[in-house]
Structure formats: structure tokens, C-alpha cells
Structure 1
């Protein structure tokens, strides 16, 4: 498989120089761009943070910081998907790699034909995971906004004797007039009420 459209940028980490060279050549032959190389996990984490690659390939056993620990740090910071290289395929090791955030793994010795499918699977899983995280964050944000707006409406009704629609219109109008989000306006109302803030102007009819 040749990756032609904006080649994926890859950081590779393998403490054995010959294996690292073979891996680099396989990737380049498949159209990937190797933007960083490391011989230990600590350097791999630093390169990933600096270069922001599309993918990081980590060997499990490396000095300074092993591949599992490096994968955990890279995944926690949501830098890039991780593929783990290992000479073993024990269930426990695979589970540890998965728990650390690895999106795919390859068992040595592997061939060039094994490489691209593992990479594309990792990128696909990572993209799907980030999309789901964004969706959940968006839902959480909307829920929090709704809660604070409801609270602000209640405070405005109580303080000014307004109806619920009037209180909502005031928040909406203030949001537009001041170029703030409705959540920011609502939070200011709540903060003002708890801090003894002044009342609001009567909302326009309609």
C-alpha cells in the first residue's frame, strides 16, 4: 500500500539500530514520512510532543522508559495514535498495551505487508475515539450550559418578578449585545446573585 495523499508523519522508537533502520525503510517504501527517531522511550515522548506526528511506533522493551509507559504518556496527552512493537504476543502484554492507549500492535518479526494495515487500523481507531470524545464533551458542555441558564432564569425571576420567558429573553439579548455566550451571561448572573449583584433592566416586550 502506498500512502500518497499528504503522507502520514511517523515517529519511530526502537533501541536496536538495525531494526529501527529496517522499520524506517519499510515505512518510507510504503509512502510514510519518518519525522523522528528515538532509541529510548523518554526521547520518543519528547519527539512526539515536539513534532506532533500522525502516528508513533514504539518498541516495548527500551531503556530509560519502556514502550508501554511511553505509550501511556503519549496517549494521555492525546498527541497521536500509538502502535506497539513486541517480540511476544502474550495476552497480558497485549492487555497492558491496550490499557496504555495503544491502538494496534505488531509482533516481531513482521513484514512490510503487516505494517500498513496495523498503522491504518491504529489511525482509524484513534480518529474514531477522538470523535467520540468530542461528542461526549459537546454533550456535557450543553448539559452544563442548560443547567446554569436554568439557574440564572430562576434567579432573575425571583429578583425582578419576571416570567420565565422574560428571564430567558434577557439572557439571550444580553448575550447578543455583549457578544458573550449565553452560558457566560448566565454564570455572571449566578455569580452576581451569590455575591449580591445589582438587578437587571426590564427585558423588552415581545
Structure 2
């Protein structure tokens, strides 16, 4: 199912969380003893989710959340009790939908459902981000190819279809992506038009 890193110092809480996760098919990738250890293991093991106890590493929790959020590594579920709620609300970012605080006492099944929902939504978000990157790359390629075709049409007096065939042939002959061929043609034109 999902790979988890646990950063929980309270042994009773650690045991409850670990057992609940294992019983439901989660893999405990590792446990962490402090902030630096946790961050090192997260970067090395690339877990699907980190479950951390509030106050696990005093002063470093917000920093860790910021690092994980900015680097898009994984979501964090922070376990806290109701008494810590006011401290937590002062550091929560309203737009931070993937680093969530869960207040105890909580039901084991609700906890698992919660963790699963966070992890699945994170995976969906990552897939969507990858699709967006691919679409952006495709659009950039299309723009470069169109510009390079225009240069070939003007310089070699070709029609659009012939210019495209020329680009494709250059791509095959030089064994490079058509995007790179288009970039080189554009660079050549810029260099020679000065």
C-alpha cells in the first residue's frame, strides 16, 4: 500500500499508530529520532507520507513542513492533542491542504481512513503535476517547431509541409529530438541575423 516514516517519541502513541498502519497494509519504511534524522530518511526513502507527533522536534516542525511542502516530497500528518490546538493554529497555513494536524483522541479506523485519503490525494496531485509538466513541454516543443518551420520556409523557400519534413529528417539524421533541432535552427537564425 503506502510507505510511511514515523516520527513519534511517545512510545504508547508510536505503538498504536504503527500497529494500526501495519494491520492495514502500510509499510513502515523507517522511524526517526530527531529533525535531522527524519529529514535525511525522508529524502533517502521517499515515503508516501510522514506521520509525526506534535513537538517531536521542538522548533523544527514548521521548518520541516516548509521544506517538505516546497520540495513537494510528501505530506505530513501531525498528531496532537486538544491542549496543543491553539499553538498549532498559529502556525498552520490556510492554503496547506497536505500537511494536516489530527487531534487525539482519535479512532483507529478514522485515523487509517484519514491517512489513506491524504496519501491518495497526494498521489493524484503528483500525477496531475506531472501531466501539467508534460503538457507544458509539449506546448514549448510545438512553439519551437512552428518557429523553426517558419525560419526554414523563409530561408529555404519551402512550403509548410516540406519544412516539417525537413525538421523531421534533420531530427532522424542527427538522432536528436525534434525540439533540439528546432532550438538549433532558431539559434542559428538569431546568430546569423546580427
Judge same fold: TM > 0.5, yes or no.
yes
1:156 to 152, 177, 185: 152
Point out which structure has higher relative CO (alpha carbons under 8 A, 6+ apart).
2
Alignment of 1:83-122 (within 5 A): 83-88=77-82, 89=85, 93=89, 96=92, 99-100=95-96, 102=98, 104-122=100-118
1:20 to 10, 14, 28: 14
Inter-CA distance 16–39: structure 2 relative to 1 (3 Å threshold): farther
Deviation at 1:186, TM superposition (A): 0.2
1:126 to 122, 126, 132: 122
Alignment of 1:31-110 (within 5 A): 31-63=25-57, 65-88=59-82, 89=85, 93=89, 96=92, 99-100=95-96, 102=98, 104-110=100-106
TM-score (norm 1): 0.79
CA contact (8 A) 2:6 2:31 kept: yes
1:166 to 151, 156, 162: 162
1:11 aligned residue: 5
Deviates more, 1:138-147 or 1:23-32: 23-32
TM-score (norm 2): 0.83
| CA RMSD, 1 decimal | 2.7
1:187 aligned residue: 183
Deviates more, 1:28-37 or 1:123-132: 28-37
CA contact (8 A) 1:60 1:66 kept: no
Cα separation, 2, equivalents of 1:77 and 1:98:
19
Q: Say which structure is richer in helix.
A: 2
Cα separation, 2, equivalents of 1:8 and 1:23:
14
Deviates more, 1:165-174 or 1:12-21: 12-21
Query: Can you give the 5+ residue segments of structure 2 that lack an aligned partner in the other structure?
Result: none
- 2:106 is paired with a residue whose SS is coil
Corresponding pairs, count: 191
